[in-house]
Each structure stands twice: as C-alpha cells, then as structure tokens.
C-alpha cells in the first residue's frame, strides 16, 4: 500500500481538520529557544488554511506525565505560530472538554486553533489500547478529517498518532512526505560515497542503526560520548568518560564486521579531555589511546573529539555524495567542547550531494552554533523516528496511513 497523502482527502473547504504536528520545542523561562519544528509545520498548515479548512492543531510538549504542568503549556507555541503565519491563532486551554468543543465549533473557514498539550492527558501515552482509544474518540469528535504531520512521533503507538487516524478519514501531511522522501534516498541506492556520522551519548541508542546500515555504507564515523565504548572495546583506558561496559562485546563485533567487509569505521585519533563535566572545566587535547595521560589522570572525562579527528571527519564528509549525521560530536552546549560538532556541521554544508542532519540534538546543535537550516540538504524533525526508519523498523504512525 502507498502512503495516503493530503490529496486523498479531497476538498477540505469548510471542514474541521485535526492536524497532529510535532511542536515539541525547547523552552527556557517560557521562551522558545529553537522554533525549527514550528517552522517545519507551516507547509501543511498553510495548505489547509488556503483551502479554507478549519484547522485544529494538536501536539505534545515535553513529558508532563499525564499531569497539567504550566511549564509545558503550548501557549508560547501558539503565539509563535501566529507570528510565523501572520494571522491570529486561537488557543484552547484544555485538550478536550466542553469549552474546547465550543471553541472548535465556532471556528470559521481558514481559521486555526491550537489545543493544549496532549500529554496533559495520561491516556495519550497509555499502554492500554482501551484508554488510548477512548481519548482518541474524544479528539475525533472535534474533527471531520485527520492529517498526521508530526514526523518526530510516528514511531510512537500513542492515541493521537496511532488510534486517532483510524477513526477519521486520514492522510499524511507534506512534512512527513518530505521526511520519507529523504529517508528513502538514504536507504534505496544512495549516491556514493555514502557516509554515516554517529555521535550522541550512548552506543545503545544507536545499536540498531549501526547494525542495519553497516553493510550499506562506505564510511562510518564515530564521535560523541559513544566513542569511548569503542575505544574501550579496543583495550584503551577512558578515565571517567561515558562508558557502556555491557556493550563492549557487541561493539567489538561491529569493529570486526567493518574490517571483514572493507567498510571504513573511523574512530577518533585525539579527544578533548576535561577535569569534570562543566563549561569552565580545565581541559587538554590528547591522543585517543592516551586519555589517562593528562594531568587529570584516571579522573579525566572526554567531552569532545579533538581537532585532528574533526578535520579528518570533515574531509571524509565533504568527499561524500550522501551523508547522514545523527548525534553531536561533543558537549556542544559548552563552548569549549563544541568545536568538533561545529567542524562536522560546517563540512556537511559543503557536501556536493545529499547532506542530512538527523534531527534531535543534532538539529539543536547546528542551530545553536549559528547555522541556518537552508545550509543543509535536509534537517530532520525526528531523531528517534529517523533512526528507527533507518533500522528498518515498522513505524506505527505510518502504518495506519497506509505505508
């Protein structure tokens, strides 16, 4: 079956259309620090508004765990959406209920209303099919059609992602279409050389994608906190650096597999080691196999790839035709340990082909470091969803849309 797209819903003028966006943006003191996901939702929303649909936007924000917590309110997001759309956006202070129903029924053609955080309701993320279904049925009463456009949540079996599209005529929005088009290019006959750059804190988060992609890529570059488990697997001491001892055997297997298949698995040759985990920690750059040789000894903690490694990674990335990058190279939130991530991001902007920033922390990193979205081939809005797709997993939120 093929993914159902907006066209399959026909003329939506005058109809109440519920749109599941992923507006899970970072907030600091009630202010959005990265509005990338809000901007990514504009394509579908503008299409529906221009058709004269009455648009009801639903999303989650953070993890309020089924409780109403003001710091996770979508009110600032509704305000930002209003600014970006250049029109008034309504905001319902409850997700469902009498007041919300009245507000939705009072909407006129082309109007848009954002409902309060879905995850203020425990049923949204419930493991119980009946509880999720009950919540989805309440939401379904508000609309006549459903558009799923929150790519960052399509790997979740949640009420608004999985159950709701089964209750109304449903289709994928343009953002999901775009994301799948890019991921298809990464998995079906990618242009070569094909390089995957993986970072972030844990190897265990990336095991599936390493396993699935290793036979398909030309180069696999390893940075971030996960690099220390690879170094330890080679017998090197890593001080107090992040280490997943239970993954050592598996990592050794990946190293051996890469060698046997002629795949370049590139590990750092130098790292930046700090006296502790803080922005102003003392730090030294040393060879990757000599982490405990710094003045911090066995108490040193690796917080970034070193400059020689960053340069080597950059050269491989710029020489590639297809690149997928997921996970920062170091603790980019601390300026002293952001250089590796910045160098790799800079290289990605120079790829003569398809360069993809794989969502999550990687997307936050490139924006925090001053890069513009249009400098990259694509910035994904879904880190976890992208990884699970690249692992070859079935994604519940896409299966219900015919994919």
Instruction: Quick: pLDDT tens for 26-71.
Output: 999 999 999 999 999 999 999 999 999 999 999 999 999 999 999 9
Establish whether 130 is an annotated binding residue: no
Is the pLDDT assigned to residue 1 strictly greater than 70? Answer: no
Q: Which pLDDT tens digit goes with each residue over 285-321?
A: 999 999 999 999 999 999 999 999 999 999 999 999 9
CA-CA-CA-CA torsion sign (90, 44, 322, 258): positive
Residues 60 and 105 placed together within one structural domain of the fold: yes
Same domain, 152 and 213: no
Residue in the block written with tokens 């493991």: 127
Residue 14 has a pLDDT of: 98
Which is nearest to 47 in space by CA: 74, 19, 75, 88? 19
86 is in an annotated binding site: no
Q: Are residues 284 and 386 in the same domain?
A: yes
Catalytic residue among 327, 360, 383, 397: 360
Q: Is 24 a known ligand-binding residue?
A: yes
Please say whether the beta carbons of 191 and 167 come within 8 A.
Answer: no
Q: What is each CA distance from 162 to 44, 71, 112, 115, 156, in whole angstroms?
A: 19, 26, 23, 18, 8
Is residue 399, in this structure, part of any structural domain at all? no
Which stretches of 41-163 are DSSP H helices? 42-51, 75-85, 98-105, 129-140
**Positive or negative torsion for Cα 31, 97, 139, 67:** positive
- Residue 225 has phi, psi (to 5 degrees) of -60, -25
Same domain, 211 and 126: no
Verify that 76 and 167 share a domain, yes or no.
yes
Q: Are 44 and 177 in contact (CB under 8 A)?
A: no
Q: Is 250 a catalytic residue?
A: no
- Annotated ligand binding at 370? The verdict is no
Strand order in the sheet with 378-379: 264-266, 219-222, 194-198, 322-326, 354-357, 378-379
Tell me the three-class secondary structure of 222-255, residue by residue: ECCCCHHHHHHHCCCCCCCCCCCHHHHHHHHHHH
Q: Please check whether residues 12 and 150 belong to one and the same domain.
A: yes
Q: Strand 54-58 and strand 112-115: pairing?
A: parallel
Distance between CA 88 and CA 393 in Å, rounded? 40
Same domain, 248 and 357: yes
- Whether residues 57 and 201 share a domain: the answer is no
pLDDT of residue 207: 85
SS3 327: coil
Q: For the residues 219-247, what does the mean pLDDT come to? A: 96
Residue 397 in domain: no
pLDDT computed for residue 100 by the predictor: 97
CA atoms within 13 A on the CB side of 319: 8
What is the spatial distance between Cα 55 and Cα 9, in angstroms, rounded to a whole number? Answer: 14
List, in sequence order, every residue forming a beta bridge with 219; answer none if it has no partner. 195, 264
Is 280 labelled a binding residue? no
**Are residue 342 and residue 380 in the same domain, yes or no?**
yes
Q: Judge whether 384 counts as a catalytic residue.
A: yes
Cα 318 to Cα 351: distance, rounded to the nearest angstrom: 5
Q: What is the pLDDT of residues 117-150, one digit of tens each?
A: 999 999 999 999 999 999 999 999 999 999 999 9
- Residue 126 in any domain: the answer is yes
The rounded mean pLDDT for the chain is: 95
Domain of 344, CATH number, reads 3.40.50.1260
Give a yes or no: residue 20 inside a domain: yes
Cα 259 versus chain centre, distance = 30
Ramachandran angles phi, psi of 319, nearest 5° = -85, 0
Is 367 assigned a ligand-binding role in the annotation?
no
| Domain end marker among 120, 143, 173 | 173
250 is in an annotated binding site: no
pLDDT at 21 over 80: yes
Distance (Å, rounded) from C-alpha 86 to C-alpha 72? Answer: 24
- Asked about 37 being catalytic, the answer comes back as yes
Q: Which of 114, 146, 173 is the last residue of a domain?
A: 173
pLDDT of amino acid 77: 98
Domain end position, chosen among 143, 173, 203: 173
- Per the annotation, the verdict on 342 as an active-site residue is no
Is residue 284 very low, low, confident or very high in pLDDT (cuts 50, 70, 90)? Answer: very high
**Dist CA 248 CA 203 (whole Å):** 10
- 317: in domain: yes
Judge whether residue 17 has pLDDT over 90: yes
> Whole-angstrom Cα distance, residue 271 to residue 249?
23
- 366 and 221 both lie in a single domain: yes
**Positive/negative CA dihedral, 56, 380, 387, 354:** positive
Residues of the domain holding 98:
6-173
Question: Which of 43, 208, 276, 384 does the annotation list as catalytic?
Answer: 384
Residue 396 falls inside a structural domain? no
Q: Does 87 count as an annotated binding residue?
A: no
Q: Is 264 assigned a ligand-binding role in the annotation?
A: no
To the question of pTM greater than 0.85 for the whole model, the response is yes
Examine the domain organization and report whether 187 and 169 are in the same domain: no
Residue 398 lies in a domain: no
Residue 224 annotated as part of some ligand binding site: no
Residue 35: the pLDDT is 93
Set 4, 15, 16, 37: catalytic member: 37
- Give tens-digit pLDDT for 185-216: 998 889 999 999 999 988 888 888 898 888 89
Of 39, 69, 157, 202, which one is the catalytic site residue?
Answer: 202
- Check the annotation: does 119 bind a ligand: yes
pLDDT at 276: 97
Question: Is 276 labelled as part of a ligand binding site?
Answer: no
Q: Which residues pair with 265 in a beta bridge?
A: 220
115 domain-assigned: yes
Known binding residue 84? Answer is no
Task: State how many domains the chain has.
Answer: 2
| Same domain as 370, residue 337 | yes
131 is annotated as contributing to ligand binding = no
């Amino acid at each position: 079956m093929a993914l159902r797209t907006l066209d399959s819903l026909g003329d939506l003028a005058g109809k109440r259309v519920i749109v599941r966006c992923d507006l899970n943006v970072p907030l600091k003191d009630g202010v959005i620090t990265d509005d990338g996901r809000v901007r990514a939702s504009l394509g579908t929303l503008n299409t529906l508004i221009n058709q004269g649909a009455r648009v009801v936007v639903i999303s989650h924000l953070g993890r309020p765990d089924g409780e109403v917590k003001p710091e996770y309110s979508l009110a600032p997001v509704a305000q930002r959406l209003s600014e970006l759309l250049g029109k008034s956006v309504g905001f319902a202070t409850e997700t469902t209920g009498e007041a919300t129903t009245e507000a939705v029924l009072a909407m006129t053609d082309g109007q848009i209303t954002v409902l309060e955080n879905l995850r203020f309701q425990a049923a949204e993320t419930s493991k119980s099919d009946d509880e999720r279904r009950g919540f989805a049925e309440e939401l379904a009463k508000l609309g006549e059609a459903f558009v799923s456009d929150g790519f960052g949540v399509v790997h979740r079996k949640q009420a608004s992602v999985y159950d709701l599209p089964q209750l109304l005529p449903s289709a994928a929005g343009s953002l999901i279409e775009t994301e799948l088009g890019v991921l298809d290019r990464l998995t079906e006959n990618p242009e070569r050389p094909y390089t995957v750059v993986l970072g972030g804190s844990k190897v265990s988060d990336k095991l599936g994608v390493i396993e699935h992609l290793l036979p398909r890529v030309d180069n696999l570059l390893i940075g971030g906190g996960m690099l220390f488990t690879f170094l330890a697997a080679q017998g090197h001491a890593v001080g107090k650096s992040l280490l997943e001892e239970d993954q050592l055997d598996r990592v050794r297997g990946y190293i051996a597999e890469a060698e046997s298949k002629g795949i370049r698995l590139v590990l750092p040759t130098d790292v930046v080691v700090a006296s502790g985990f803080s922005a102003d920690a003392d730090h030294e750059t040393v060879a990757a196999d000599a982490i405990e040789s710094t003045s911090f000894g066995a108490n040193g903690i690796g917080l970034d790839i070193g400059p020689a490694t960053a340069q080597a990674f950059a050269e491989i990335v710029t020489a590639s035709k297809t690149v997928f990058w997921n996970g920062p190279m170091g603790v980019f939130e601390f300026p002293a340990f952001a250089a590796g991530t910045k160098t790799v991001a800079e290289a990605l902007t120079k790829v003569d082909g398809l360069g993809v920033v794989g969502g999550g922390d990687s997307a936050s990193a490139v924006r925090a470091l001053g890069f513009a979205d249009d400098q990259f081939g694509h910035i994904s809005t879904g880190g976890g969803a992208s990884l699970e797709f690249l692992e070859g997993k079935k994604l519940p939120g896409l299966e219900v849309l015919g994919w």
